[in-house]
Structure 1
């Protein structure tokens, strides 16, 4: 809410660009060439990040934040796939669950599916009332506020390091983090982390 208020303060003339009412929807015609380009340039590069952040991390974080209410990787993967298969025909952007979103909602008080339902209902209402005018408002949204939200979400995600039970596990985690940040690739960090984990397991003598 604060971000929206600041958006109007930064550019008061944005009020003139607001048009009430939902935008027209139409089915997007996706050609065979578009499917091929999307698969090669979009799906393959995004797959490692989606699997790690939208499936594995979400399942692990949900079990940490909500003990006894665990979700399987299969169910999470299916829901991510379904929302994208349905949304792409209407020009929707790729969607996922995301561990960052879960951590952020938990950090700001979300403790049940009700908060997600309310968030979804609010977005649908805004879409029906403002349509594409909402994009104009969001363009003026202060980046600093988004940074604060990401900071708290990152802190909540970082707290999962408390599960590290040994120096080896902590070392693997640091390797994953360092490589992902330096190489700007979660996939590269994941692969390096797995290699280090395997090497440490091979190096550690088997207990009798």
Structure 2
């Protein structure tokens, strides 16, 4: 739902609200978003590694070679680079604002009142979503995508906790192992530890070279293009429900999804799903 809103509507992130429908044309228009979506579909297909569309051309080998070439293209990275180029075109002054070198880092002093406010307004509301999306969903998705590798909820929970306990002293944003991020990486070809390592090195490099001035480019990044990337990551995540073997499992999943969408709260949907699951076990 969020991805579709990003594509269809102009977003005011400071107020977390939509600001009207998006124009069809322009550097952040609907046509651009649709072109990016079509490009991803052509390159990545349905995400099935054994996708053999167009078998009628296999005798000549042309279609198979073309499919291999297209499948090797880093579609998400190409669209991201396109978005960066468009961001610079939309706001050419952002380049002038580049400051080379890392931003200054300092240790924050967190008062008792800030700890209390953060716990009440941040931790408690976020805890159900973090447990669901950052632990349970990540472990389940990892098992589905990489059945040969074991992932425990304990190890995932500990790493999420350590990231936030260490990062908060330096003003870092809350971090987690999001299931959506894992699904997106898998969808666009990042299926090894080396890909994650390269991603980390790239982020560190940008942080050390440009620091916080890189944020100015991201502020001009076409939100419609971002919505397309989020949409396909969400689709890949939803595809994991295909392994449900019983009507009972499908029923619980649909109840959870429906309540989450209608109530705009994953926590409420999660609780309703648990209640329905327990009631069906009686």
Please give the range of the TM-score, normalised by the shorter of the 2 chains: over 0.9
- The counterpart of 2:200, out of the listed 116, 120, 127, is 120
Shift of 1:144: 1.2
Compute the RMSD of aligned alpha carbons: 0.8
Shift of 1:7: 0.4
Q: Name stretches of at least 5 consecutive residues in structure 1 with no aligned partner.
A: 203-208
Which residue is 1:55 aligned to? 135
Structure 2 CA distance for aligned equivalents of residues 137 and 11 of structure 1: 8
TM-score (norm 1): 0.95
Which residue is 2:106 aligned to? 26
Shift of 1:147: 0.7
Give a deviation string over 1:129-186, Cα, whole Å, max 9, x none. 1111011111011111211111111111111111211111111100000001111111
Q: Name stretches of at least 5 consecutive residues in structure 2 with no aligned partner.
A: 1-80
Which residue is 1:139 aligned to? 219
Say if 2:263 is the partner of 1:199: no
Shift of 1:194: 1.2
- The counterpart of 1:149, out of the listed 211, 229, 236, is 229
Structure 2 CA distance for aligned equivalents of residues 3 and 115 of structure 1: 21
Matches within 5 A, 1:39-50: 39-50=119-130
Structure 1 CA distance for aligned equivalents of residues 137 and 86 of structure 2: 33
Matches within 5 A, 1:1-208: 1-202=81-282
Structure 2 CA distance for aligned equivalents of residues 136 and 14 of structure 1: 6
SS of the residue corresponding to residue 158 of structure 2 reads helix
Shift of 1:51: 0.3
Shift of 1:198: 1.6
More helix by share: 1
Structure 2 CA distance for aligned equivalents of residues 145 and 117 of structure 1: 25
* Off by >4 Å, runs of 4+ in structure 1: none
Shift of 1:81: 0.3
User: Could you tell which deviates more after superposition, 97-106 or 9-18?
Assistant: 9-18
SS of the residue corresponding to residue 93 of structure 2 reads helix
TM-score (norm 2): 0.70
